[in-house]
Chain A
Amino acid sequence: MSRQESDTPQDEILSLRKELQEEKNRHLRTLADFDNYRKRVERDIEANSTRGKKELIKELIAVLDNFERAFAQIEDEQVKQGLQMVYQQLFSLLQRHGLEVIESLGKPFDPCEHEGIGYLENLNILPGHVAGELSRGYRFGGSLLRPARVMVAKRPVRIE
């Protein structure tokens, strides 16, 4: 950086002061940025350690779904029982690792945990509450892994 010859020492002091101030500012801001970054990295590391597990469990939920679909269609009781044991084994394993089922039936519809698929005419369940579950919802480590797919109750339309 070249300064003009005509600059008096006073001018130079002023401009250097200003420059120093700017540098100080920049330095502090970088430090602050870095500090915030460091804090978030710590948070992210924590999140990452569960994320890998979460991804895997998310994919395994599709397998749980298929077991449930199988139960609904298998007629041979012996086979069904055996399969149920395999399912139970997988399910309790996932539960031990932090998988939680979202109870939805009879609860008020809540888009934070439920995905509405349609309405069901139902007199026994309050309107706006879950009347049927098409597939289960799950939480993992306290946060939503997959919403429950639900049908919501509504009053039958009266034909007059």
Chain B
Amino acid sequence: MGKTVGIDLGTTNSVIAVMEGGKPTVIVNTEGDRTTPSVVAFKDDGERLAGKVARRQSVLNPENTLYSVKRFIGRRYSEVTDERKLVPYKVTSGPNDAVRFDIRGKKMAPEEISALVLRKLVDDAAKYLGEKVTDAVITVPAYFNDAQRSATKDAGKIAGLNVLRIINEPTAAALAYGLDKKSNETIMVFDLGGGTFDVSILEVGDGVFEVKSTNGDTHLGGDNFDKEIVDWLANEFKKDHGIDLRNDKQALQRLIEAAEKAKMELSTTLETQINLPFITADANGPKHLDTKLTRAKFDDLTAHLVERCRGPVKAALADAKLSEKDIDEVILVGGSTRIPAVQKLVRQLTGGKDPHMGVNPDEVVAVGAAIQGGVLAGEVKDVLLLDVTPLSLGVETLGGVMSRIIERNTTIPVRRSQIFSTAEDSQPAVDINVLQGEREMARDNRSLGQFKLDGIPAAPRGIPQIEVTFDIDANGILKVSARDKGTGKEQTITISGSTNLNKSEIDRMVHEAEIHAAEDKKHKEEIEARNEADSLAYQVERQLKDLGDKVPVHEKARVEQLLGDLKTALKENAPIDRIRTLQGDLQQAAYSLSQSAYQQAGGGPAGGSAGPPHGEDVVDAEFEEK
């Protein structure tokens, strides 16, 4: 059995997605794009083109290049009188007054054309996935009637697909946000695409969606916004230079591209520079277009377009006999919903509700269709819903620092271990404090439990190897064990419910960590510096002891003096800068100490450290002795 895909067969662009390992993925076509133009062309040699390639030759071959076919699918010839006039290809009538296209003398049904778009999407998907694609879920607008739905299904069949289901676009969008799990909620889906605007009101209960009302504007979309910018640029230029750039094909092309780019930029910035050097020339020489477009100006230019969305939303609410405060969820679909003024209007019309917009609005419908496909193919139900650890887990180490063992958002089940050691000579036991949270210091995080591993044989600090293992099973139960690798002695604690925190608590903890990130980091660095200094003092002390009287007396006295200073500074919690200076001095003194010691002993390698050997995988964080 091949893969099941979800297809958003759009008026201007189409998107295809698939479930993989339980997650929806949008498929990239052979041109490297995530969307494919819904355009089909027939060349004079009979070759058929679909997608971007077809669009590139549309100007040369307008009568045999079909786009916006979705406006005709499943409709009668007598119903499309207006649409017919807007396209350059020939629309005629077939049996039972059905719409047919006249292409190079051959009559073709809209289903056949849409099938070619579907075929292109599916073929590219098969290439991408490396396996056959057989089954599909295809989306249609909520207002599509039976004839339009069955024609869309037929298009799938003609393309060789087994169409598992035809679902509504707004329903697919709601599925992409997992809203099928809600009970008795009212959802508004606001879909402003490239050329059409649809608003739908849905009700969800028991995993079933019901369309309460739909409304829209079949000729309103992103292209209208671009055109406003083009006209503004051209008018301004004409005012300044007396030349209408719209009459020059090439200049107009540059204007259109610049307008679209400017529109996109203004979704994230407050102003953008439009820079088109050598846009044209007159008797006085070359002319350049160099202007700034602010978001305020853009909003001003397009206010009437944004305003055109208001009526349909109000009408949809009225048809559903609802008011704005009855809406529980709002979903934004279509690239044009990235425009800040559009989002502002949506908020205004839904009582200030924050809309869902986490999923790419160009892809959300296909993503939802893929999820539906996964459910129908039994994949979604079967795939274990893999959970993640909502917060980091770790242990407290020397100086009250949290040492992370499992980072937040790690997929479970998971098992991680790290090796720690002791902080003092002959330390008989280590305390394991199991922590959860994102802060750097142990005290700012939540302690999930504590236990002690004792019976560690007497050894210099840093020598014992204590392996700490965190193991979270598929049910979120955390088992922490500490094992002395020397003796094999082990202690374990089991903590359940480490993953089922409520969302607001997780958010609070993550948020707090963000706020305190800088100070926490500084604090942690200080403690690490102190630990390092302490470790150096310890090593030098041992070195002095080991070398005994091989060291010249005056040098020994100097090192002892520096050592004493550093230890006092550490004990008195002196400022970190002072500790760093003292540490540097001591390090230098220690080097020359061993150097002169080896020289006296008959010249061995200089500069070797006489400190205790560290195991290779010993982490430089050590347990505090209690």
**Residues of chain A whose beta carbon lies under 8 Å from any beta carbon of chain B:** 26, 29-30, 33-34, 36-37, 39-40, 66, 69-70, 72-74, 109, 111-112, 114-119, 134-135, 143-144, 147, 149, 152
Selected interface stretch from B49-57, B239-247, B590-598: B49-57
Q: Mark B123-145, 1 if CB is under 8 A from A, else 0.
A: 00000111100000000000000
A69, A73, A116, A143: residue with the most chain B Cβ atoms closer than 10 Å = A69
Contact, CB under 8 Å: A114 / B20: no
Is the C-beta of B59 less than 8 angstroms from some C-beta in chain A? yes
Chain B residues with CB below 8 A from A30, complex form:
21, 383-384
B54, B128, B249: residue with the most chain A Cβ atoms closer than 10 Å = B249
Please measure, in the bound complex, the distance between the C-alpha atom of A25 and the C-alpha atom of B538, giving whole angstroms: 58
Chain A residues with CB below 8 A from B31, complex form:
144
Q: How many residues of B contact A (CB 8 A)?
A: 29
Distance to closest chain A CB from B520 (angstroms) = 33
Distance to closest chain B CB from A1 (angstroms) = 14
Chain B residues with CB below 8 A from A143, complex form:
32
Contact, CB under 8 Å: A118 / B49: no
Please measure, in the bound complex, the distance between the C-alpha atom of A116 and the C-alpha atom of B57, giving whole angstroms: 5
Residue in B closest to A116 when the chains form the complex, CB atoms: B60
Give B260-288 interface residues, CB cut-off 8 Å to A. 277-278, 281, 285-286
Chain A residues with CB below 8 A from B281, complex form:
73
| A70 touches which of B21, B128, B278 (Cβ 8 Å) | B278
- What are 6 A-B residue pairs whose CB atoms fall within 8 Å in the complex? A70-B286, A72-B278, A111-B56, A116-B57, A116-B60, A135-B250
Please measure, in the bound complex, the distance between the C-alpha atom of A135 and the C-alpha atom of B277, giving whole angstroms: 15
4 more CB-based (< 8 A) A-B contacts, given A30-B384, A73-B278: A40-B128, A70-B277, A119-B60, A149-B253
Please measure, in the bound complex, the distance between the C-alpha atom of A111 and the C-alpha atom of B277, giving whole angstroms: 28
Give B29-79 interface residues, CB cut-off 8 Å to A. 31-32, 41, 49, 53-54, 56-61
Distance to closest chain B CB from A22 (angstroms) = 8
Residue in A closest to B277 when the chains form the complex, CB atoms: A66
A40, A109, A112, A115: residue with the most chain B Cβ atoms closer than 10 Å = A115
Chain A residues with CB below 8 A from B128, complex form:
40
Is the C-beta of B519 less than 8 angstroms from some C-beta in chain A? no
Given A37-B21, A116-B60, A134-B250, also A111-B278 (CB < 8 A): no
Contact, CB under 8 Å: A114 / B382: no
Please measure, in the bound complex, the distance between the C-alpha atom of A147 and the C-alpha atom of B285, giving whole angstroms: 29
Given A70-B277, A70-B278, A144-B31, also A36-B129 (CB < 8 A): yes
Given A114-B56, A116-B60, A147-B56, also A69-B278 (CB < 8 A): yes
Chain A residues with CB below 8 A from B53, complex form:
111-112
Chain B residues with CB below 8 A from A39, complex form:
130
Contact, CB under 8 Å: B383 / A26: yes
Q: Which 7 A-B pairs have the closest CB atoms?
A: A69-B278, A116-B60, A111-B57, A73-B286, A111-B56, A33-B21, A115-B56
Chain A residues with CB below 8 A from B253, complex form:
117, 134, 149
Contact, CB under 8 Å: A117 / B249: yes
Contact, CB under 8 Å: A118 / B384: no
Please measure, in the bound complex, the distance between the C-alpha atom of A134 and the C-alpha atom of B285, giving whole angstroms: 20
| A69 touches which of B57, B60, B277, B285 (Cβ 8 Å) | B277
Please measure, in the bound complex, the distance between the C-alpha atom of A149 and the C-alpha atom of B257, giving whole angstroms: 14
| A33 touches which of B20, B60, B249 (Cβ 8 Å) | B20
Please measure, in the bound complex, the distance between the C-alpha atom of A73 and the C-alpha atom of B280, giving whole angstroms: 9
Residue in A closest to B49 when the chains form the complex, CB atoms: A111
| B285 touches which of A73, A117, A149 (Cβ 8 Å) | A73
Residue in A closest to B287 when the chains form the complex, CB atoms: A73
Q: Mark B382-394, 1 if CB is under 8 A from A, else 0.
A: 1110000000000
Give B205-264 interface residues, CB cut-off 8 Å to A. 249-250, 253
Chain A residues with CB below 8 A from B286, complex form:
70, 73-74
Q: Mark B520-541, 1 if CB is under 8 A from A, else 0.
A: 0000000000000000000000
